[in-house]
Amino acid sequence: MASTSVRHHTMFIGGEDVDSGSAYEIRHPATDELVCTMAKGTVADADRAVASAREAFESGVWSGKSPAERQEIMQRIAARIGTDQDEFIAAEISCNGATVRQAAGFHVGMAGVHFDYFAQLAGSYEFERTIETDPVPTASTNTIRREPVGVCAAIVPWNFPLILGTWKIGPALAAGNSVVVKVDEKTPLSLLKLAHVAHEEGVPAGVFNLVSGDGPEVGARLASHPDVDKVAFTGSTAVGREIMRLASGTVKKVTLELGGKGPSIILDDADLDFAVDGVIFGCMLFSGQMCESGTRLLVPAELHDDIVARLVARVADLNVGDPNELATDLGPVISRRQRDRILAYIDGARAEGATIACGGGIPEGEEFQRGHWIAPTIITDITNDMPIAREEVFGPVLSVLSYSSLDEAVAIANDTEYGLSAGVWSRDTDRAAEVGRRLRAGTTWVNTWHAVDPRLPFGGYKQSGLGREIGLGALDEYTEAKHLHVDHTTDLGLATFALVLSTPRHG
């Protein structure tokens, strides 16, 4: 049961706080200190949440509201993310160790902007349109309706719970669906607060439910549940495959945003100072714990040593430390397990003959003996067949590879099972954009990284995912297309079925 010395949090189902018989301990990644406890949900809790969501959907308390009504309520929620920003930031930092600057700018700042975008989509989305058709063989009116799918399950990862949760909750609510959010057990607090805020601002009970629980049990139940109509998942490719398998039993709609191994290509004409800073930002932000991080750097062979020297010198300027301090650039990684996994990848690369140009272990200093820390690491003498270059490390680790021609650079960049992100650095943006067109990735940046806009789609090629989140078509993933055909023929002899049925013998 939960300790009485720290705050205990519960799930939110049907507009009510719901506890369970056991609890997770939430520990701060920087210090390993106990922050709070969280109810550990079960399959029964998932079933209760789905039943609540289904009842709310069928009742029409939300799905029956006009788009304008949903927009108004959602805009109030978006505004609360801004006014309650400090609470949301504290929730993110205490659970996942994000720095305060990053949490303000990305984790929470972007979440409010993106939720407001989905609110606006609720009012502007074309839920119904009439299609002009030929009057032959019969005159008719044909309407395309976009209707909510029903109950949507959102399975959210630990790294960006609020923003990635918003990408699923926002369009689901905008389209008129009910949602069941399954939070990661390490980072439940920001989405739990969002659930309460949504209820306070007018989202009816049962429309927004939040459960916790182990992924192989609660997450799997939501993915396979016969009363869940859509599942949206962000996480590893391995788990994404299992989500697809489980969802196939009821042929439900699926959106998957999975792993990545983003290639970052510096061209021979690049401004090296600018590119080096951009590459470090692309790889090291949030200690590399981002699926679309640029973790493979491809450099011209003749510039390799110069670029590596610049990278090492620049990384030495990074301030690694307390995520609550404004001066901090890099904080900890999420857990001891993740830290040890990253160290194993680094040790494996070293054993295969790679060179650790900087970092490669736990930073020096007494303050780093608690919590889960990895020094920003740059590794050279790598080939693209090594695990360090092919597998998602999810840490502050940059792998540097050389290329001798642009064709070789593109071939190396595309030689991966992933296709989430890529980037090109060059003074000639036209040339860089042409290289970008050859890269097999859902997002390709030129002279920047992590540039995500709610109006533009985000998702991956190959085993980096299925479908797209955000963007102009975000609500398409949360609606079903219905063709409504109204025939205006009144003369039985002119009706299309007269082609098969003979004229009646008796009037």
Residues with active-site annotation: 257, 291
**The two structure tokens encoding residue 354:** 């790679």
Closest CA to 161 of 120, 248, 103: 103
Which amino acid type is present at position 12?
F
**The two structure tokens encoding residue 246:** 């489980």
User: How large is the C-alpha radius of gyration of the chain?
Assistant: 25
Contacts of residue 375, Cβ cutoff 8 Å, sequence gap at least 6 = 320, 358, 359, 360, 361, 362, 363, 396
**The two structure tokens encoding residue 456:** 């533009």
**The two structure tokens encoding residue 72:** 């108004």
Contacts of residue 487, Cβ cutoff 8 Å, sequence gap at least 6 = 138, 139, 140, 495
The answer to whether the CB of 181 falls within 8 A of the CB of 169 is yes
Which amino acid type is present at position 227?
D
Question: What's the CA angle centered on 45, arms 22 and 85, to 5 degrees?
Answer: 80
DSSP state of 419: -
188 three-state secondary structure: coil
The answer to whether the CB of 404 falls within 8 A of the CB of 301 is yes
Rounded to whole angstroms, the Cα distance separating 320 from 317 reads: 9
Rounded to whole angstroms, the Cα distance separating 354 from 158 reads: 31
Which amino acid type is present at position 237?
T
The answer to whether the CB of 298 falls within 8 A of the CB of 401 is yes
